[in-house]
Amino acid sequence: MRRFALVVALAVLATLPGATSAGARPADLAKANTYRTWTACDEHPGSKHSSSCPKEGVKGLFFKSVDAHVTYKVCVIFPQGKKLCASHQDAPKGKVAINTITSNKIGVHTINWFVGGNKVATRHLTIHN
């Protein structure tokens, strides 16, 4: 009977919010954290957010991890279907991390951010004349 009560108590504890082990998997951390992502027509942190930019110039891809210091991967899928990724990108808690692209390809670019192997955000950036 004692073993049954212990198993039930552990099962109840495991379902409580915030009851995670010190050895939590990266995927669990990715789901528990909050992320902010945006795109802009230049690479300055104070830039106006934009989902449409002229083909000239650098475009900024911004990532902020609100709750924890994480390493992320960002991938851009270009209008012709080519995919380019930057892995092992550092994002200290609360700091804005910036990646840039210099694409002059007209059309929609899809940007995906990953933490712990999980996709945490997708944005679309349209490049126009």
Q: What is the pLDDT of residues 8-19, one digit of tens each?
A: 333 333 333 443
Mean pLDDT of the chain: 84
pLDDT of the residue at 31: 58
Q: Give the residue with greater pLDDT, 14 vs 89.
A: 89
- Please state, in angstroms and rounded to a whole number, the distance separating the CA atoms of residues 99 and 90: 11
Q: What is the pTM of this model?
A: 0.76
pLDDT at 24 over 50: no
What pLDDT does residue 115 have?
98
Q: CA torsion angle for 63, 69, 70, 75 (degrees, to 10)?
A: 10
Mean pLDDT of 23-44: 77
Q: Is 93 left (phi over 0), alpha (psi -120 to 50) or beta?
A: beta
Query: Which structural domains are found in the chain, ordered by start?
Result: 33-128 (2.60.40.1930)
The residue among 96, 98, 73, 70 whose CA lies nearest residue 83 is 73
Determine the length of the chain: 129
- State yes or no: pLDDT of 6 exceeds 70: no
Contact of 83 with 75, CB cutoff 8 Å: yes
Report the share of the chain in percent with pLDDT over 70.
Answer: 76
CA distances in angstroms from 73 to 10, 18, 27, 62, 91, listed in the order given: 35, 26, 14, 12, 10
**Digit-coded pLDDT (tens) for 48-84:** 999 999 999 999 999 999 999 999 999 999 999 999 9
CA distance 43 to 62: 8
